[in-house]
Structure 1
Amino acid sequence: MSFGALAETHIFQLVSEIDKSQFFSYQITDVAFSPSSLTLKSNAETNTFDDAFTLLTVATDIPSTDQSMKFQLFMKSNTSQCYSIDETALITPSDFAQVYIEGQPLTELEPVLMEFNQASDGVKTGEYDVKFSFGTLPESASLCQGKLSVLAELSL
């Protein structure tokens, strides 16, 4: 008795495609103030500026289903300078403009831990109320200018 086997070779073509849009890199993709420029109104009774308000928006590529991700907001710089009518720089306190994010003070010493409060197109985003409060204007101030810079960092 004899058995025989016939061997056949089969070649399978394997193809993979990677859709990078289906991967998330877990990044903050944009941080912006809206409006990004404020014109302040002075208050003669209190010799300061009225409080000013803007909106901080944060965009990410983090899936909205991920519940673990939060972020910290750091103040990189907060500078103010007031000038007299002849454009002489006046002594302006370093804490002249105080910043509050959703009611929490934002300082250069302590970051603020934030949670994403919205979702858009399946990813986490956020919108946060920002309030600026001001100290007393320097004597003979005619013009004041300031700039705020913030940094957002993901936090587990």
Structure 2
Amino acid sequence: MSIRIGILGYGNLAKGVESAIMQNDDLELAAVFTRRDPASVSIRTAGVPVLSQDAAADMKDSIDVLVICGGSATDLPVQTPKYAEMFNVVDSFDTHANIPVHFANVDAAAKKGGKIGLISCGWDPGMFSLNRLYMNCILPEGRDYTFWGKGVSQGHS
């Protein structure tokens, strides 16, 4: 049995998600949702519908996880709570100072709908921070450096 994935948005992040789905036999791309004219969006996975984001609610019983691939500044604060009430959702929200508020909003919506929301799990925060953690375990006397301002900031090291 495959996990049915929906993708909301179809920019670079979504194309990467689609590629990851194609490499895993236990995942299946069920649909891509877009704000653009769906006819103008061409995806790599044959036979998968590209639909208006307004049609997402109609597919809530056909999708196990909706990966929301919008931007952190204006898209995810609105989209993730909205869709967390209907779907188990994943996003890569990365406005660090606003993560507690985003968490509270997504948590409330997901609980209301009996769903789960996994937020801020992209490259940063996420993989950068985990990489630093792993390296500090392997080289506990090592030094962290960053290319992002003074000190070790946001896991960039």
Larger fraction in helix: 2
Work out which of the two has the higher radius of gyration on C-alpha atoms and give 1 or 2. Answer: 1
TM-score over 0.5 for the pair = no
User: Which of 1 and 2 has higher RCO (CA within 8 Å, sep 6+)?
Assistant: 1
Larger fraction in strand: 1
| Band of TM-score, shorter chain | under 0.3
TM-score, normalised to structure 2's length? 0.20
